[in-house]
Amino acid sequence: MAKDGILLESGTNEVELLEFLLDGQSLGVNVLKIQAIEQYDPERITHIQLADPCVVGTLLFRDQCITMVDLTQHLHTPVLPSADELAPAIIDEVANAVQGAQQTPDSTEPGGESAENRLVLIMEFNDRKTAFLVDGVTRIHRVSWEDISPLSPYLDRAGSKFTGSVQIDGREVLIVDMERILSEILPTEQASLSAYADPSHPNFHLREELTVFLAEDSSVIRTRVEQELASANYTRVISFPNGQECFDRVVEMQEAAISENQPLGESLSAIITDIEMPAMDGLTLCRNVKELLTITDVPVIMFSSLINEQIAQKCNDVGAEAYLSKPQFARLVELLDRYCIENRLPRA
């Protein structure tokens, strides 16, 4: 399954995963999030008073002070539901999924490793750079999103820090939900990024008539997007946990639209999609909608933590109408208004 190389074409439904280690457990993160890998040097760390206990301090990286998080310490304290909330089989599933991240360190050093052996992964997503302290790095693997198995929905209830897993060379690699981890440790959402109810807005009452599909693997983000859009009166949002289920539903609607001799845009106003998802990623979803189904009257908006110059080009390559970094919800509403309402109004 694993292949060498890190350059991917747009919409191939493949991802490059960097495999790294915490307490002997193999974990994975999208290579596109990685800015640099450095040796851990405690002398370069400035400690922060009253910070989250998982925050080591700040690290000077390319003339910029960025926050460093001890990833091992954060994963040692997952939030699990009580036993009476879950069936016995589900309790076992939850326990097994987080087992690799709950081993007690033997050393006084974070993560049970000596400082000189640990590494720092410097990542950038959601328009912010953050350093994560890990035990080591194995290699980069190219895998298909089809081979990444989503975790049980019960794990979302349990506050899981993982979005899926993949078998590589006989071992299980857990895909870490870095966005969720960072939001728990360093919440920075500003009111200016949120959508808001404004009944006086000329599009407010038009929005409630429009159907929007949302493909997003994180139940936390799905719920947040639904809430934000509903506050702006986009109340007909249908959500899917991955691109494959969304695409299957689009195919069904397209077939029905053809049989009724109607454009799909009459019943589906827009698709909002994340990029990183098991089964089918957002770039492949967009490419399939635009190329395989030749649907041109349904705009696709990429809503992802990965948006940068390289990803923006990939979004353009697969025919997306727009791309936007999380969590810019107010801007997301503006884009929906533009492509679902304003661009469809008759011109004078």
Model pLDDT for residues 112-151, shown as the tens digit of each residue: 445 568 999 999 988 889 999 999 999 999 999 999 988 7
Q: What is the CATH number of domain 191-344?
A: 3.40.50.2300
Confidence of residue 25 (pLDDT cuts 50, 70, 90): very high
- pTM score > 0.85 for this model? no
Q: Cα dist. 308→131, 186, 269, 311, 312 in Å?
A: 18, 21, 26, 5, 6
Residue 71 has pLDDT above 70, yes or no: yes
Q: What is the mean pLDDT of the chain?
A: 83
Residue 198 phi/psi, 5° resolution?
A: -140, 85
- Locus of tokens 């990542």: 123
Q: Are 161 and 177 in contact (CB under 8 A)?
A: yes
241 contact partners, CB below 8 Å, separation of at least 6 = 150, 215, 216, 217, 219, 222, 277
According to the CATH classification, is domain 14-185 in 3.30.70.600? no
SS (H, E, C) 185-240: HCCCCCHHHCCCCCCCCCCHHHHCCCEEEEECCCHHHHHHHHHHHHHCCCCEEEEE
Mean pLDDT to the nearest integer, 17-40: 94
Looking at the chain, the domain(s) classified CATH 3.40.50.2300 span 191-344
Q: What percentage of the chain has pLDDT greater than the value 70?
A: 80
Q: Tell me, what's the pLDDT at 308?
A: 84
Q: Residues 281, 216, 295, 341: what is their CA dihedral angle, to the nearest 10 degrees?
A: -150
Tens of pLDDT along 210-234? 999 999 988 888 999 999 999 999 9
Q: Tell me, what's the pLDDT at 52?
A: 82
Looking at the chain, the domain(s) classified CATH 2.40.50.180 span 14-185
Q: Cα dist. 201→131, 162, 196, 205 in Å?
A: 41, 39, 11, 8
Half-sphere exposure of 208 (CA within 13 A, CB side): 8
